[in-house]
Structure 1
Amino acid sequence: MDEVRRMIAVDVLGPDTPLPSVRQLAADLRVNPNTVAQAYRELERDGVVYVRRGQGTFVRGSAATGDLKRTQALVVAERALLDAHRNGLTAEDLIAALAKLNGEGDAS
């Protein structure tokens, strides 16, 4: 699910782009087809994709790229914050490090 959202956010998948069939993606990823079907159902429920019976699953044209980018930013931030906490860092430490990497001043 994260990868589909990421691909939409970075414009790899555009509106009405077909996704691989459940069976094909399950075979490619070597996972149970039920896992892929569940992911597709959740993406549909979230309004990211739509299903055309007998034709497949497609990227929803109204899947706002901005909304998906914000969602992906939250996912990335959550992972980074969890990793920071595991390493004894605070959110402020992480923000300062990100600012320094982004060239926004001296964060020592």
Structure 2
Amino acid sequence: MFELDLRSRQPIYEQLIDKMKEMIVRELWQPHDQLPSVRTMAKQLMVNPNTIQKAYRELERDGWIYSIPGKGSFVAPRSKEPNIEAIAAVREQFVRLVKEARFLGVTNEQLWQWIREGEERGENRDSTCGRDENV
């Protein structure tokens, strides 16, 4: 499945959310695929079931997965249309982080390097869907 870094400063549930989103974006999990149960995933990853449940709740709240009582959690279908609200929220966070980095003395070249590193790690989508060329 995937591994979590238990020594990372990033909370485990956030790592789990990121990994699950990556599985969905890379289409390793297809729309309507059933996810492992909370207990199963907790055993596989050797983490507390409450941590898994928290990640599932956040993913459901954000529209990445959906739950059917008594059946489990499933990958939500992804719209072909860009989610304008989500893109605007990401842009807002990005601008805030760039301002903070600049305040700390990070150069433009360092910022571009970070973006390239993100691309190399596969943390961006290859398609232009949702990309605003005027940003």
TM range (shorter): 0.5 to 0.7
Distance across 2 between alignment mates of 1:36 and 1:26: 6
Shift, 1:89, TM fit:
3.7
Q: Does 1:54 align with 2:84?
A: no
What is the count of residue pairs matched by the alignment?
A: 92
Q: Single out whichever of 92-101 and 9-18 deviates more from structure 2.
A: 92-101
2:74 partner SS: strand
Q: Distance in 1 between matches of 2:43 and 2:31?
A: 25
Identify unmatched segments of 5+ residues in structure 1: 103-108
TM-score relative to the length of structure 1: 0.64
Query: Which residues of structure 2 form unaligned runs of 5+?
Result: 1-16, 120-135
SS in 1 for 2:51: helix
Residue in 2 aligned with 1:42? 58
SS in 1 for 2:44: helix
Helix, strand or coil at the partner of 1:5: helix
Higher relative contact order (CA 8 A, sep 6+): 1
Specify the alignment match of 1:105 in structure 2.
Answer: none
TM-score (norm 2): 0.53
Q: Which runs of 4+ in 1 moved over 6 A?
A: 98-102
- Letter paired with 1:11: E
Measure the CA separation in 2 of the matches of 1:23 and 1:52. Answer: 16
Larger radius of gyration: 1
Sequence identity of aligned pairs in percent? 38
Tell me, yes or no, if the aligned pair for 1:22 and 1:33 is still in contact at 8 Å. Answer: yes
